Amino acid sequence: MGWPSGWAEVCRTLHAGSIPAPISMTSEYLRKTKHMINLNPLQTGGLLTAAARRMLMEWGDGYSICDFCRGKLDEIRNPPIYEFVHHDLPEFIGADIVRLTNGAREGIFTIMHAVTKPGDTIVVDENAHYSTFVAAERAKLKIQKIANSGYPKYIIDIQAYEHVIKALEKQKIKVKLLIITYPDGNYGNLPDVRLLSKIAANYDIPLIINAAYAIGRMPVNVNDIGADFIVASGHKSMASAGPIGFIGMKKKWEKTLLRISQFFKNKEIEMLGCTARGPSLLTMMASFRHVRERVKHWNNQIEKAQWFSREMGKIEIRQLGEKPHMHDVMFFESEKLYEISKHHKNGAFYLYHEFKKNNIWGIKPGLTKYFKLSTFTATREELATVIDTFKSLVSSRSRLTG
């Protein structure tokens, strides 16, 4: 069998000692948004600290962490992964036990796979991330959806969970798992998770809180809330290179979720032996001191977000979702920007291009009528620049549409 097309040239180049630069190092692939005002909800909470950037370079070689492993990732003492997983993280979120994952979605699926069986029924909020539904499909579960209140607030009524549980009980169907998104990644709504925890306990149904946009941004204590499980995202909210996240759980679930392989006595089956085992973990550890400190100032973030929402309202760009808003992720509606897009030479992409000219990044290209953003890492001065840019666009319709 012959070599694949192109391999002969590669071999000649290597033999000659002339190795071309990797594709990722060519200028066309370098990030051009690094120093812009960043409003992207997926990125703002995950921006690396200086310490994490140094750690990324130091530990970026393959599975360098595994050089120090004797068979169980979370028992590595140097670097101090054991201390981080078994002491720092549980204390930080108020959980009995923590295990690393490759992200929030992997954590949700892991829990589903451990505590349910194919054909079981679960209840999920409509505001949940798509990956929650995909995880349930992968686990072959039946989904009952709790609808939100619709435009303009999209609120999840927690009492609706109990109504669904009772309705299913009349059909002889036992709900095996409840899931709530706190907050959701579109509107930034914060449902009453404590009330849902009480409902879950009353019906003896385990509860998962998807806190991908909460843990690392705002104070969260899962034992105070009363939930069985909580999942976090390091690359969304803990200043970490992705993908990485973790599960927090009550101790009563230890044997279910952390059962050991019959073939390899130091490997946890649901974790597939080990999960996040590369530089993503070391960046989370390096950023942890900063993250632990910044959640203490969450009230400042709320004040900033609410101020931004009010200022946007003054130029008729309406914030949807809960008001007063209690999170940095926000969803906006603008009929004026949408009308401009109908006549602008760049169409629906004009907002993206105008923002880029003003050193602003993060609103998805092609969106004008509805869009979401995050105020988390931008300063008030930077957000004032964003507001001024919006004002200019709204008031300069004739120039933009010419």
Question: What one-character-per-residue DSSP string does 128-143 give?
Answer: S-HHHHHHHHHTT-EE
Cα end-to-end span (Å), the chain: 61
Does 314 reside within a domain? no
pLDDT at residue 1 is higher than 60: no
Does 341 reside within a domain? yes
End of a domain among 268, 294, 320?
A: 294
- Confidence band (pLDDT; 50, 70, 90) for 396? confident
Domain shared by 101 and 39, yes or no: no
Q: Which of 9-23, 210-224, 353-367 shows the lowest mean pLDDT across its residues? A: 9-23
Question: Hey, what are 149's tokens?
Answer: 């209140």
Rounded to 10 degrees, the C-alpha dihedral 321/326/328/330 comes to: 10
**Residue-number span of the structural domain to which 278 is assigned:** 52-294
Domain shared by 339 and 387, yes or no: yes
- Cα–Cα nearest to 337, from 289, 391, 256: 391
If one counts every other C-beta atom within 10 angstroms of the C-beta of residue 218, the result is: 24
Domain shared by 85 and 233, yes or no: yes
Q: Identity (one letter) of the amino acid at 26?
A: T
Domain shared by 83 and 212, yes or no: yes
pLDDT at residue 5 is higher than 60: no
Cis peptide before 183 (omega within 30 of 0): yes
Give the H or E element holding residue 296.
none
Domain shared by 36 and 61, yes or no: no
- Cα–Cα nearest to 100, from 275, 254, 233: 275
pLDDT at residue 400 is higher than 80: no
If one counts every other C-beta atom within 10 angstroms of the C-beta of residue 366, the result is: 13
What CATH number should be reported for the domain holding residue 334?
A: 3.90.1150.10
Q: List pLDDT tens digits, range 21-68.
A: 454 544 555 666 778 999 999 999 999 999 999 999 988 877 678 877
Contact 377, 46 (CB under 8 A): no
Domain shared by 69 and 142, yes or no: yes
CA distance 371 to 161: 29
Q: List pLDDT tens digits, range 110-143.
A: 999 999 999 999 999 999 999 999 999 999 999 9
**Mean pLDDT on 171-200:** 98
Domain shared by 122 and 230, yes or no: yes
Does 361 reside within a domain? yes
Contact 182, 190 (CB under 8 A): yes
Does 243 reside within a domain? yes
User: What is the number of H-type helices and E-type strands within the chain?
Assistant: 18, 12
Does 316 reside within a domain? no
Q: List pLDDT tens digits, range 242-300.
A: 899 999 999 999 999 999 999 999 999 999 998 888 889 999 999 999 999 999 999 99
- For residues 121-140, b (16+ Cβ closer than 10 Å) or e, as one string? bbbbbebbbebbeebbeebe
Looking at residue 2, what is its pLDDT? 41
Q: What is the DSSP letter of 23?
A: G
Counting the structural domains of the chain, the total is 2
Does 305 reside within a domain? no
pTM over the 0.85 mark? yes
Domain shared by 27 and 83, yes or no: no
Contact 321, 184 (CB under 8 A): no
Does 159 reside within a domain? yes
Question: Hey, what are 396's tokens?
Answer: 């300069």
**Mean pLDDT on 92-103:** 97
Q: What is the mean pLDDT of the chain?
A: 91
